[in-house]
Chain A
Amino acid sequence: MSRQILIDPVTRIEGHAKITIQLDDAGKVQDAHFHVTQVRGFEKFVEGRPFHEMPALMARICGICPVSHLMASSKACDALMRVTIPRPAIHLRRIMNMAQIVQSHALSFFYLSAPDLLLGMDADPAARNIYGLAEANPALARDGVRLRQFGQQVIEILGGKRIHPGWVVPGGVAEALSPEKREQLLSMLPEALAIAQRTLLWYKGTLERYQDEIESFANFPSLFMGLANEDNTLEHYDGRLRFAYSSSNLVTEVSPKDYETVIGEAVEPDTYLKSPYYKPLGYPDGIYRVGPLARLNMVKSCGTPLADQALNDFRQQNRNSSFHYHYARLIEILFCIERIEQLLNEQDILDKNVRVYASPNRRHGVGISEAPRGTLMHHYEIDDDGQITRAELIIATGHNNLAMNRGVLQVAQRFITSAKITDGMLNRVEAVIRAYDPCLSCSTHAVGKMPLHLELLGADGTLVDEIKR
């Protein structure tokens, strides 16, 4: 008799999801599915709104990554206006985007994943959280707090507030950088850099303990997708849209505006989260991964000295394992801090020319940037009056949907060995999802509560076993 295990919802991810695991007659894991149970709806209710409202509206999708939506949305509006925004505005947008990546990666690493890494996958769930982490290693917890504050402060200094800043606008940014703010930003960098370096060092020291997880956490070859520069370096704001198996095995590269020629979207009946795939390989063979691991795996170098050193060490690891999303996040934090300094030292960073104005000059506009969790795509269509007639969003968590499903199956097959589920088994299944740092708020606009409920169901639907947290 085949049976089903249900984990509902998954904890410590942004939003609400559940996992079902199907057992076969012999009690072995046969299949696994990651379901998202809320609908987003943003694409529908923005229809009819003036296009220039889109950045402010879309930023409301997420309280964690409003800046990422501001970036992609403003870029889509730039495309509708058919303008090239001033170079200083590009520098400033990049700085804010990187600050966003730092604060979000810090949230993911220190708050959501480090408790697993420091306290162990089998630790008591009541203690395996940021507070348990603080008790076990207060210095690390303080570093997490500080690094997140750093990212938020940079956003606040540039945009006027931490959440939903309205400073990134179609055509550029609303206000130029003042010399005082530039000095303030520069003065914050050394501490952030030191934290990033010592956290990376600490993390590398823990890797030996997690060889089992590294081998089984969505460890498979796949395509990676993301933006990259033409010189094969890391890019988060512009560049070309690339599919590659590795930095030396490029499959294709297109202009971001042509993403629809390479990406298709499949719909499954049991989840609101669509499954994007690489069109030439079809569905579901066109599975690919996005986010920090994908970005690092696709490029030859980061383009900053310390991050490049870290990338060389990273390349000694098995880079197909999604467990290394954590490692990649730390390297990206380092890169972003270095890159923010480079940008603040650009000659034209204080230039007052930071915005261009125009009416719509095109019916379609595509804006693509790299959000912390991966490639974020906003595509708008407007009518003669500049009102939205169609909005299409493809979110990082959606891109990773097929890979997350495969990862859950792999880790379930490795760690679930009986019909009686232990907390350790359960947490490993959840942890493989958390490695991708999915944002279900973004992918469906859900605000979910996080109690944990696992059910083991027989083929006829009867309850065989149940765990509640």
Chain B
Amino acid sequence: MILLIGYGNPLCGDDGVGPYIAERLAEDADGLSSDLECLSVHQLMPELAENISRASVVIFVDAECGGAPGGITCYKLAKPARPSGMVPAAFTHNVSPQTLLENASFLYGRRPVAYLYTVSGEDFSLGATFSSAVEAALPGLLDRLKTRINRCTNLVLLKQ
């Protein structure tokens, strides 16, 4: 299973880009793997570690502060040098993708390959609309994600 998690607050302008992308891909999955699962969430919570542990590949989508507005970045979330154990997190309501991956490994014995796609936001104030820069970036982001999902699907099939 390929798991896509879009997270952010849809009522805080560009912060809602993650949930928006997850919902678009869930609705328009033409040509994508039938084994794609999309989750749209306000924030990352510890229980997502269980969903993550069941996936072959996880793709996180989030808004980013900083950078040129509308800029898209893809990070491959590598396994940290420090093996096993927890990534210290002071607050349970501020969970990072890396922490969730570590917990999937620690609690459930599986740490899937993971990517984080971010879009640099410009306006995070109250409202359910995106800034023009983020709006313009959406088609490109959707294309890149579809390419990534197809590539991951092929890799998963090859491994099987």
User: From residue 426 to 451 of chain A, which have CB atoms closer than 8 A to chain B?
Assistant: 447, 449-450
Is residue A142 contacting chain B, with contact meaning CB distance below 8 A?
yes
Docked-complex contact B43 and A469, CB < 8 angstroms? no
Q: Give complex CA distance A126, B94 in Å.
A: 13
Docked-complex contact A149 and B50, CB < 8 angstroms? yes
Q: Which among A12, A111, A127, A145 has the greatest number of chain B C-beta atoms within 10 A? A: A145
Is residue B17 contacting chain A, with contact meaning CB distance below 8 A?
no
| With known contacts A63-B43, A142-B107, A131–B88 Cβ distance under 8 A | yes
Is residue B76 contacting chain A, with contact meaning CB distance below 8 A?
no
Q: Which residue of B lies closest to A128 (CB)?
A: B90
Docked-complex contact B49 and A145, CB < 8 angstroms? yes
Docked-complex contact B91 and A129, CB < 8 angstroms? yes
Docked-complex contact B46 and A125, CB < 8 angstroms? no
Is residue B86 contacting chain A, with contact meaning CB distance below 8 A?
yes
Is residue B80 contacting chain A, with contact meaning CB distance below 8 A?
no
Docked-complex contact B11 and A60, CB < 8 angstroms? yes
Q: Which residue of B lies closest to A13 (CB)?
A: B93
Is residue A163 contacting chain B, with contact meaning CB distance below 8 A?
yes
Chain B residues contacting A125 (CB-CB under 8 Å) are 90
User: From residue 27 to 49 of chain B, which have CB atoms closer than 8 A to chain A?
Assistant: 41-43, 45-47, 49
User: From residue 105 to 148 of chain A, which have CB atoms closer than 8 A to chain B?
Assistant: 111-112, 125-127, 129-132, 134-135, 138, 141-142, 144-146, 148
Q: Report the count of interface residues on B (CB-CB < 8 A).
A: 25
Is residue A11 contacting chain B, with contact meaning CB distance below 8 A?
yes
B-side interface mostly = loop
Docked-complex contact A131 and B11, CB < 8 angstroms? no
Docked-complex contact B86 and A132, CB < 8 angstroms? yes
| With known contacts A135-B86, A149-B47, A450–B107 Cβ distance under 8 A | no
Is residue B74 contacting chain A, with contact meaning CB distance below 8 A?
no
Q: Give complex CA distance A146, B51 in Å.
A: 11
The contact size tier of chain A is 20 to 34
User: From residue 46 to 102 of chain B, which have CB atoms closer than 8 A to chain A?
Assistant: 46-47, 49-50, 85-94, 99
Chain B residues contacting A145 (CB-CB under 8 Å) are 46-47, 49-50, 107
| With known contacts A163-B42, A469-B90, A138–B11 Cβ distance under 8 A | no
| With known contacts A145-B47, A145-B50, A149-B47, A138–B106 Cβ distance under 8 A | yes
Docked-complex contact A63 and B86, CB < 8 angstroms? no
User: From residue 141 to 180 of chain A, which have CB atoms closer than 8 A to chain B?
Assistant: 141-142, 144-146, 148-149, 152, 163
Q: Give complex CA distance A130, B41 in Å.
A: 20
| With known contacts A130-B46, A163-B42, A450–B106 Cβ distance under 8 A | no
Interface 1/0 per residue, A174-195 and B, CB below 8 Å: 0000000000000000000000
Docked-complex contact A134 and B92, CB < 8 angstroms? no
Chain A residues contacting B85 (CB-CB under 8 Å) are 135
Is residue B103 contacting chain A, with contact meaning CB distance below 8 A?
yes
Docked-complex contact B90 and A126, CB < 8 angstroms? yes
Q: Which residue of B lies closest to A146 (CB)?
A: B50
Chain A residues contacting B49 (CB-CB under 8 Å) are 145
Q: Which residue of A lies closest to B91 (CB)?
A: A450
Docked-complex contact A127 and B88, CB < 8 angstroms? yes
Chain B residues contacting A111 (CB-CB under 8 Å) are 46, 92
Q: Which residue of A lies closest to B88 (CB)?
A: A126
Chain A residues contacting B92 (CB-CB under 8 Å) are 12, 111-112, 129-130
Docked-complex contact B107 and A11, CB < 8 angstroms? no
Q: Give complex CA distance A452, B47 in Å.
A: 25
11 contacts between A and B (CB under 8 A): A111-B92, A129-B92, A131-B46, A131-B88, A135-B86, A135-B106, A144-B47, A145-B46, A145-B49, A146-B50, A163-B41
Give 14 new A-B contacts, CB below 8 A, not counting A11-B90, A63-B43, A131-B87: A11-B91, A111-B92, A125-B90, A129-B89, A131-B89, A134-B107, A141-B107, A142-B108, A145-B49, A148-B47, A152-B47, A163-B41, A163-B42, A450-B91
Closest 5 CB pairs of A and B: A131-B86, A126-B88, A145-B47, A450-B91, A111-B92
